[in-house]
């Protein structure tokens, strides 16, 4: 959801449903392009932690909410 809120697009895209599902299966997404130029490196780092392919290495919701990006957003 954070990816969508910041960019206005879903993280996994493609021309057809099959291509989208393949990108989901392999964890292929991008944080580059004009939409991402104005997004902070802290926000991008958090999204990368949230979209880590291996669930064992992925950040938990509790850890995400404790991330520095959220802490700095409060000010």
Residues sharing a CB contact under 8 Å with residue 16, sequence separation 6 or more, in sequence order: none
For the chain, the domains span: 2-73
> Percent of the chain beyond pLDDT 90?
91
> In which residue are the tokens 């999204």 written?
47
According to CATH, the topology of domain 2-73 is Transferase(Phosphotransferase); domain 1 (1.10.510)
pTM for the predicted model, two decimal places? 0.85
Question: Is the predicted pLDDT of residue 71 greater than 90, yes or no?
Answer: no
Determine the pLDDT at residue 75. Answer: 60
Question: Is the predicted pLDDT of residue 74 greater than 90, yes or no?
Answer: no
Determine the pLDDT at residue 37. Answer: 95
Residue of 17 and 71 predicted with greater confidence: 17
- DSSP-assigned states of every residue in 16-66: SHHHHHHHHHHT-----SHHHHTS-HHHHHHHHHHT-SSTTTSPPHHHHHT
Mean pLDDT of 29-57: 94
């Amino acid at each position: 959801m954070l990816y969508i809120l910041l960019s206005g697009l879903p993280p996994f895209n493609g021309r057809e449903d099959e291509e989208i599902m393949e990108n989901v299966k392999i964890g292929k997404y991008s944080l580059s392009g004009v939409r991402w130029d104005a997004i902070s490196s802290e926000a991008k780092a958090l999204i990368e932690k949230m979209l880590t392919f291996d669930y064992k290495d992925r950040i938990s919701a509790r850890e995400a909410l404790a991330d520095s990006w959220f802490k700095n957003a409060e000010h």
